[in-house]
Every structure is written in structure tokens, then in C-alpha cells.
Amino acid sequence: MRQRLWGEALGSYFLFATVVGSGIMAEQMAGGNVAVALLGNTIATAAMLFVLITMLGPVSGAHFNPAVSLVMRLRGDCCWQGLAATMAAQLLGGVLGVCTAHAMFDLPELQVSTHFRDGPGQWLGEFIATFGLVTTILLTVRHRPAAVPASVALYITAAYWFTSSTSFANPAITLARSLSDTFAGIAPGSVAGFVTAQFAGALAAHWLDDSVLAERA
């Protein structure tokens, strides 16, 4: 369990630092072009996901995401106490990553985001983003486990662009990004709607796979 927690904390640290840090860099270099900034943010995030899942998958399972960890617990992984500890490690490691990203760019380490992301379209985007992410993980693990790093990285690349919310798809990173008033930030008042949609999407993917898709495997 100690190895698992360190793996999840380390992976979340680098993933969250990448999301926020690349967003800051992209915004600084894009000259006001939001599409170019999002493209830079997307490439960096997907590349880091591929590396982290490849590197830490054998150590911790490479969830870096409480919604993914919850689904894996429902499928028999670990225990409820271990799930709580894993979620805490993901959040703490991720918040440290966000603070580090700010420090690298000479910004205040802790901030409060003013980027409001609300409304049914945004919530549906997060539901779809998380549903697709968990479905990608479950089916790729079953059919082509060696392809999980590439599949997840490529799914997130696409989801950054086809979802209205730019695919947070992760309750821990949503909370951590509320502490960043940068390109990747989300206002604290918008967090609850995103997190609710994310867990709902993850549970829907679990239900679909467990009740329908697994029977055909």
C-alpha cells in the first residue's frame, strides 16, 4: 500500500504540474490565440500521461484520478480504506504539483481561480469525458493491456477538443485547478457540478461494462 500511495502521489504531482504549467506556458506564448494555447496544453498533457502510465502502472495502477480509483474498487481492487488513502494521495500530490507549476513561473503558489465553468453543457461535457475515459481504460485493459498508456493519452487528446469542458475528467485535478487562476483554472463555485458529473460518468461506464460489455467479452 505504501508503494501504491507514493506512486499515485508522484504521478498526480507530475500530471497536475503538467496540466497547469503547460497551460501557463501556452497562454504566454500563444499571443492571445486560445486555440493554440489549448493545443499546447493538450500535447503536453497527453505526452505526460503516456509516460506516467507506462512508468507507474506496475507500481500503483496509474490511476491519478479518484473516479478511476472508485471504479476499480467497485471491481474488487484494494479496500475502502485503501481507496480513501489513494484519493488523498492523488489530491495532495496534485496540489503540490499545481503549487510547483506556479512557482516555476514566478506566480503565487496558492491562488483562487476566477474561471467560471458552469451550465448543463459543461456538466454534460464532463460526464461524457469521464465516461469515455473509464470505458477506454476498462476495455483496453481487457483486450489490449499493453496499449493502455497510448489509448488513455490519445483519448484525452481527443477529449480536450470534442468536449465542451475541455475534459477535466478527474475530481482531484478539478479541485486542484480551483487553486490556480491561470489558463487551466476553474472557479471553486464550479467545482461541485464538475465533480458530480465526473463521478456520474465513471459509474455509468462501470455499469455499462459490468452489465453489458463484459457479457460479450
Residues 6+ apart with CB under 8 A from 111: 102, 179, 180, 181, 182, 185
Q: Show the cell assigned to 99.
A: 503549487
Q: Which residue has 506564448 as its cell numbers? A: 29
Q: Show the cell assigned to 44.
A: 503536453
3-state SS track over the chain: CHHHHHHHHHHHHHHHHHHHHHHHHHHHHCCCCHHHHHHHHHHHHHHHHHHHHHHHHHHHCCCCCHHHHHHHHHCCCCCHHHHHHHHHHHHHHHHHHHHHHHHHCCCCCCCCCCCCCCCHHHHHHHHHHHHHHHHHHHHHHHHCHHHHHHHHHHHHHHHHHHCCCCCCCCHHHHHHHCCCCCCCCCCHHHHHHHHHHHHHHHHHHHHHHHHHHHHHC
Residue type, 95: V
Whole-number pLDDT of residue 216: 55
Domains annotated for the chain, with CATH where assigned, are 2-216 (1.20.1080.10)
- Taking each helix axis from N to C end, the angle separating 66-74 and 188-208, rounded to the nearest 10 degrees, works out to 30
Q: Are 165 and 117 in contact (CB under 8 A)?
A: yes
Q: What is the pLDDT along the chain (217 residues), one digit of tens a residue?
A: 899 999 999 999 999 999 999 999 999 999 999 999 999 999 999 999 999 999 999 999 999 999 999 999 999 887 778 899 999 999 999 999 999 999 999 999 989 999 999 999 999 999 999 999 999 999 999 999 999 999 999 999 999 999 999 999 999 999 999 999 999 999 999 999 999 999 999 999 999 998 877 665 5
Within its chain, how far is the Cα of 178 from the centroid? 14
Whole-number pLDDT of residue 215: 60
Q: Are 114 and 188 in contact (CB under 8 A)?
A: no
Q: How far apart are CA 106 and CA 28, in angstroms?
A: 13
Q: How far apart are CA 69 and CA 65, in angstroms?
A: 6
Q: How far apart are CA 36 and CA 27, in angstroms?
A: 8
Q: Are 102 and 25 in contact (CB under 8 A)?
A: no
